[in-house]
Amino acid sequence: MPLSSPPSPHPDAPPGHLVIIGGGEDRSQDMRVLRRFVELTHAASPKVVVLTAASREQDKVAEVYQHAFGLLGAKPMVFAMHNRQDAADPQVIEHLLQADGVFMTGGDQRKLLSIIGGTRTSAAMHRIYRERGACIAGTSAGASAMSEHMLAEGWVNPHPQKGAVDLAAGLGFLPRAIVDQHFSERQRLGRLLTVVAQNPYLLGVGIDEDTALVIERGLGLEVVGDGAVTLVDGREMQSDFLELYDRDLIELHNVRLHLLPDGARHGMQEGAAPDSSPMPQRLREAVAILCSGEYPA
């Protein structure tokens, strides 16, 4: 099957994991978030490919993650990508196809997608995630790039404001959600509400710094780190969005918000995740959207 063909889950493959990090993760002390990523590769000495394409200082970023992942027992290999030709390099693709985990660093998500979006690098990442159960991680810009519809740019306003955000195509690991990072630290709730008001079809996901939303494909999720994950569900929302001009504040009703702190674990079905707590129906549906990419029936 050509690499560019749409990947299908292999019946014998373990579930793949996504580790979506809100940025600012600890890279030198206990490294809880990075440690969890390494654990989820399920390899004794995992091969980890680090992609620094989002960064403006790729050499410096490479040194930081080579050191951190080395301390955690992984075998990191960093690839600096400056153009789309780099993202089609056969040597890079070969290493990606053999990787136990892939880690996308922070920087600018627009730069990241302009380099790897729609390339053999992107296709290889999807292939190992779905067919081999590899772990795919991204921090900050790398986290935003995980979704199919990516928050490319937007300014911060305490309240939702029409026209305050721009969306772009992401990598498609989360088809029905949109991710914002540095969430509490940069007070981005208003920005995420703006996205959901404009696109009620999408589940808003806000992730704090040094915090990860971990998704086990088809099964459940957990939260790891010092902060929390905020889910914004606007499926039953009512708003005056269509009646407004750009920069007008948006009136919203019946928006559902879920706050998941460190240690939260929820399966798609009641009790599906170990030690999972009882869930209200709407949270269970939100978990299903994240873990399956589909709206529950």
The verdict on whether 222 is a catalytic residue reads: no
Catalytic residue among 122, 140, 239, 276: 140
CA angle 281, 286, 289 (to 5 degrees): 125
Distance in angstroms (rounded) separating the CA atoms of residues 142 and 108: 8
Residue 112 · residue 54 · CB < 8 Å? yes
Element (H, E) at 97: helix 90-98
Query: Which pair of tokens denotes residue 278?
Result: 């009882």
Distance in angstroms (rounded) separating the CA atoms of residues 10 and 174: 19
Place of tokens 């998941």: 260
The verdict on whether 209 is a catalytic residue reads: yes
Catalytic residue among 209, 216, 222, 285: 209
Catalytic residue among 182, 216, 239, 258: 182
Distance in angstroms (rounded) separating the CA atoms of residues 283 and 286: 5
Element (H, E) at 7: none
Catalytic residues: 140, 182, 209
